[in-house]
Amino acid sequence: MKTLAPKAPHTVVSLLILTVVTLACLFPFLGKAVHIDDPLFIWCARHIQSDPFNFYGFNLNWDGHEASMAAVTQNPPLAAYYLALVGSLFGWSEIALHTGFLLPALALVLGTYSLGRNFCFHPFWAALATVAAPVFLLSSTSVMCDTMMMAFWVWSVYFWMEGFKTGNPAKLCLAALLIAACSLTKYFGMSLIPLLLTYSLLEQRRIGRWLAYFCLPVLALAFYQWLTHRLYGQGLLLNAVAYATQLRVGGELPSKLLAGLAFAGGGMIILLTAAPLLWDRKKLVAGIVMAVMVGLLVLTMKKVGVFPVLDAGNVKWLFVIQISLLVTAGTSLVLLLVADWLRQKTPASALLSLWVAGTFVFTCAVNWTVSGRNILPMLPAVSLLLMRRLEARELLRGWSGARLLWGPLGVSLLIALLVARADYELADSARTAAAFMTQKLGVTPNTIWFEGHWGFQYYMEKLGAKALDRHDPPLSSNEVIVVPVRGSYLFPLRGDQVAPWFEHEFTASKWLATMSAGAGYYSDGWGPLPFVFCSVPAEEYLVFRVK
């Protein structure tokens, strides 16, 4: 195999440091409230405990009406099976579930290190850059499938390259099994099949026996399609593909491209903090000019996706500055790809380029939304590209050279921790709101209805309240309805049925937003940035009485 350099040494000390740093960064968030789509995975896991062979065989009200879980979810069930195992062993508390998901996060970091030994001399720093990325910390403080998918992803690439180089059938078979597991954790894992197929063709220039190993994940996905069609009357694999490509939020393609670049630049903020190390003075000046041009473009557009740049005729300058910086940082990723390819022109370089470019195109032009969860798959490849660029500039020679990275890594990690903390507080505000509404309204919980879903629904139902059906709400006199103003899947209430009672606010982060004020980390339908430093409005809840 044509690699950039002889394989970097494997040291126990490096693995130990990476383990300690990863766990230390995630430990403060073990008590994070159930958030966004976490409930879907938890409910599925609890159902699997009682009916393991019919994983989606239950109904729920997730978007305003009762439907089958098979029709609601757009993810395969492997992460839920893992969650069922964690829950059965350690219980269903937030701390227990998040502790169980430390393992996939750690596997992703150590997998990036192991894979990086085939691409650069400094895989330790590449793995640290992965830990210091906001997109890693936010994804790893959830119990959704994203970090688990990426753990399978990096190790499948590692074992495929190792097996391909030596012709070892056991490693190639293990890689194929990991590809299948990756795909059944999140459908995007299927991208590994064309990615590694292309890499193998570039490396060997002909078809070989290795092609047969791809049959295993293909057969696993075909079986899944057949099984779900038999169980639920529809093949969920193709259904998810149709959902991802037909639904669209976040505006037209120009807005999607700006959001994609901003999510890349913000989710991997080291692209910005390490810019003086990555580029010479001319390119840095060009980057400043580009940031100004992006700002002017945003002002001309007047809104990016759903988010307006003007407020009562006044420009939101703080937002404009942040989107300009993050889009410019995201654009530098394109330059990294080009520079690496022009310098190397090897199958390994092509693998990294296609890995990043394919993820970006899918996120911006194919998938229904731009989100941090969709940007996460490119993170390990970006970390490796960063190290390859710094090595090409001969900036990492010896300890004195490595010290140059402490500043960019430290700032990146600080921002990542602040963003993760802001999201923690947002999740906790929904848990607090549910407890307040069910305890302080002076009515029994079974007479409380609510709109909005995500973590708020999880805690409201856990406390005895019921999700309102938009089509046929069975309301009775003097019952109560709670509506989160910035909730999901909201619908209007009939004025002849309800009367406003009071409003209440719950404070999340006051100066950093992940799902308001132009930030939409989980979907650019809420905003074109992964996070925003600003004055964040409180989470507002409206309470109505049924007439």
HSE of 244, CA atoms in CB hemisphere, 13 A: 21
- DSSP assignment letter at 68: E
Q: Using CB atoms within 10 Å of the CB of residue 129, give its burial: 0 to 12 exposed, 13 to 18 middle, 19+ buried.
A: buried
Rounded to whole angstroms, the Cα distance separating 529 from 537 reads 17
- Render the burial of 379-405: b for 16+ CB within 10 Å, e for the rest: bbbbbbbbbbbbbbeeebeeeebeeeb
Nearest to 179 by CA among 205, 167, 161, 165: 161
Among 391, 421, 451, give the residue marking a domain's end. Answer: 421
- Tokens 């954790």 belong to 185
Same domain, 245 and 216: yes
Q: Tokens standing for 490?
A: 């909201």
Using CA atoms, how far apart are residues 415 and 133, in angstroms rounded to an integer? 8
Measured distance CA(89)–CA(45) in Å, rounded: 13
Residue appearing with tokens 């390859």? 388
Residue where a domain stops, chosen among 393, 421, 449: 421
483/367 same-domain check: no
Distance separating alpha carbons of residues 281 and 284, to the nearest angstrom:
5
Locate 382 and state its tokens.
């970006």
446 and 322 inside one domain: no
Nearest to 82 by CA among 52, 110, 112, 114: 52
Tell me the helix, strand and coil percentages in the chain, rounded to 5.
65, 10, 30
Does residue 172 lie within any of the structural domains? yes
Residue 401 is predicted with a pLDDT of: 63
Q: What are the tokens at 47?
A: 């159902």
Tokens 């990756």 belong to residue: 182
Residue 3 lies in a domain: no
Angle formed at CA 48 by CA 141 and CA 427, multiple of 5 degrees:
25
Tell me: do 408 and 442 sit in the same domain: no
The total domain count for the chain is 2
Bridge-partner residues for 307, per DSSP? 304
Does 198 fall in a domain? Answer: yes
Separation CA 211–CA 199 (nearest Å): 12
Are 403 and 441 found together in one domain?
A: no
The residues near 387 (Cβ < 8 Å, ≥ 6 apart) are 116, 119, 120, 121, 122, 123, 125, 126, 129, 396
Cβ atoms within 10 Å of 213's Cβ, excluding its own: 22
Please check whether residue 6 lies inside any domain of the structure.
no
Cα distances (Å, whole numbers) of residue 19 to 112, 409, 438, 480: 12, 17, 41, 48
Same domain? For 440 and 297 the reply is no
| Amino acid at the residue 408 | P
Q: Give the pLDDT confidence score for residue 5 in this predicted structure.
A: 46
Domain termination site, one of 421, 438, 470: 421
Torsion of CA 56, 59, 61, 66, to 10 degrees: 130
Question: Is residue 304 classed as helix, strand or coil in its secondary structure?
Answer: strand
Joined together, the tokens standing for residue 169 give 């059938």
| Residue 7 covered by a domain | no
- What pairs with residue 482 in β-bridges? 450, 543
| Cα-Cα end-to-end distance for the chain | 74
Q: Give CA–CA dist 402/115, Å, rounded.
A: 20
Q: Let me know whether 215 and 231 are in one domain.
A: yes
Q: Residue 250, SS3? A: coil
Q: Are strands 303-304 and 532-533 parallel, antiparallel or unpaired?
A: unpaired
Alpha carbon distance 113, 92 (integer Å): 32
Helix, strand, or coil (residue 52): coil
Q: How far is it, in rounded angstroms, from Cα 537 to Cα 139?
A: 24
- Indicate whether 433 and 410 sit together in one domain: no
- pLDDT by position in tens, the chain (length 547): 344 444 555 688 899 999 999 999 999 999 999 999 999 999 999 999 999 999 999 999 998 888 999 999 989 999 999 999 999 999 999 999 999 999 999 999 999 999 999 998 889 999 999 999 999 999 999 999 999 999 999 999 999 999 988 889 999 999 999 999 999 999 999 999 999 999 999 988 888 888 999 999 999 999 999 999 999 998 888 888 777 777 777 778 889 999 999 999 999 999 999 999 999 999 999 999 999 999 999 999 988 888 998 887 788 999 999 999 999 999 999 999 999 999 888 999 999 999 999 999 999 988 889 999 999 999 999 999 999 999 988 887 765 567 888 999 999 999 999 999 999 999 999 999 999 988 888 777 778 899 999 999 999 999 999 999 888 777 888 889 999 999 888 888 887 888 888 889 998 889 999 999 899 999 998 999 999 999 999 999 999 988 8
**376 and 442 assigned to the same domain:** no
| 178, 199: one domain | yes
Dihedral sign, CA of 69, 74, 76, 78?
A: negative
Let me know if 20 is exposed, middle or buried by CB neighbors in 10 A (0-12, 13-18, 19+).
exposed
Question: Does 240 fall in a domain?
Answer: yes
236 and 321, same domain (yes or no): yes
CA distance 221 to 193: 11
Q: Report how far Cα 127 is from the mean position of its chain's Cα atoms.
A: 18
The residue type at 50: S
Residue 368 corresponds to which amino acid? Answer: W
Report pLDDT for 4. Answer: 43
> Where in the sequence is the domain holding 460, given as residue range(s)?
422-546
Given the structure tokens 């495929």, which residue do they identify?
160
The answer to whether position 522 is within a domain reads yes
The answer to whether residues 364 and 458 belong to one domain is no
The amino acid present at 303, given as its one-letter code, is: K
Single-letter residue type at 364: C
Task: Tell me the whole-structure pTM to 2 decimals.
Answer: 0.93
SS3 544: strand
Q: Note whether 82 and 107 are within 8 A (CB).
A: no
**pLDDT at position 49:** 93
User: Is residue 53 assigned to a domain?
Assistant: yes
pLDDT at 2: 44
